[in-house]
Amino acid sequence: MQPETSLPDYLTNDFSMYLENMISLADPDNPDLLANYLSNLFEQLKEMPLLFNGMVDQLAMAISTKVRIDSKNLAKVELTTEPSWDEIKPFVGVHADARACITEIMTHAEQDLKNAILLIHFYNGYDATPLKSTEDENEKFDEYEYNDYDENY
């Protein structure tokens, strides 16, 4: 069983947008929708590497298929306080056709790149299974109590 990892505060807003976008594009009726969208997004980024400057969720989507993250070892890094790029970089591999683009982003928007990598890392370990609620004895709704009301009041 994987240890529960909570999302650091500095990523909460961007992760929420990233998750919403990824889920909305994962259409079971059109399984290629997400892959095609991510491919098109990367092609735009490749033409203009700083296109998503300040839009970390979009940057994460654009590079998600072009980076490989060693999440097993990255999970050992303390991420509750924001790490530096140098702490994250050893756990990131970049596909050959994305190296020039990622290098450009790293040179001019290192903070965004680092956070985009962390979004992908947390998304890859994200479990969307709803938590099972625990019943509180005081909150149990007794059928007889419900029927005890006078409907003719």
User: Is the pLDDT at 126 greater than 60, yes or no?
Assistant: yes
Read off φ and ψ for residue 30, nearest 5 degrees: -135, 80
User: Is the pLDDT at 133 greater than 80, yes or no?
Assistant: no
3-state secondary structure of 67: strand
pLDDT of residue 140: 52
pLDDT of residue 134: 53
User: Is the pLDDT at 47 greater than 70, yes or no?
Assistant: yes
User: Is the pLDDT at 124 greater than 50, yes or no?
Assistant: yes
Query: Phi-psi bin for 104: left (phi > 0), alpha (psi -120 to 50), beta?
Result: alpha
Q: With CA atoms as reference, report the closest residue to 65 among 31, 83, 41.
A: 41
17 CB neighbour count, 10 Å cutoff: 16
**Mean per-residue pLDDT for 125-148?**
56
pTM for the structure as a whole: 0.79
Tell me the pLDDT band of 58, cut-offs 50, 70 and 90.
very high
Tell me the pLDDT band of 1, cut-offs 50, 70 and 90.
very low
Q: Give CA–CA dist 40/13, Å, rounded.
A: 24
Helix pair 12-25, 56-63: axis angle to 10 deg: 50
pLDDT of residue 95: 95
Q: Give CA–CA dist 34/123, Å, rounded.
A: 15
User: Is the pLDDT at 94 greater than 80, yes or no?
Assistant: yes
CB of 130 within 8 A of CB of 102?
no
pLDDT of residue 117: 97
